[in-house]
Amino acid sequence: MSLRSFTETLITRETMQSHTEFFKPTGTLVLPVSKVGSTAAGAGASSVPKFFYAEVKPRAKPAKPVSVDIDDLVAEFQSKSSANAKAMSKGRKWVAETFYKDRPNLAQLRLKKGWSQLELAKRASTSQSYVARLEQGKIDPQMSTVRRVAEALGISIEVFAEALLLETKP
């Protein structure tokens, strides 16, 4: 591409004004050439042509919605006020009475207290994921863990063992 055709295709001021906010003039560029096209270096004319250019900035993409873990969402809701925490506890108790009343398993024992898995885990000095696996019957807990969880729930080890056996039935 010749220098002449290059300068003829550059963005002009009028074109710049018709574009959106993504094309903003940033200044003037001076080409250090002695002759461009028919520019004459005579009476008051500059031998160095000036033209405007645009710095194109890509459109900012809107932030994609980020997935939120339900446990984080519930924890945030509960932390906003004690009324929210009480409402969640009441809801958990309702779930225990409504859906687990005929099945005294570990989830029902926990939900009767109005506790989340995380709350039970904190009280029993274990992790939420461990409580989840325990409730699903995917692990055989050590006796020390059985004792801590039973104490946290305020139940005997025998009641805990019966609830655990319900989780492991096929």
Model confidence pLDDT, tens digit, residues 145-166: 999 999 999 999 999 988 888 7
Model confidence pLDDT, tens digit, residues 18-69: 555 555 555 555 444 444 444 444 455 555 555 555 555 666 777 776 787 8
Read off the tokens for 16.
């710049």
C-alpha 92/C-alpha 116 separation (Å) is 8
C-alpha 2/C-alpha 144 separation (Å) is 84
- pTM for this entry: 0.57
Domains, the chain: 3-56 (no CATH), 70-168 (1.10.260.40)
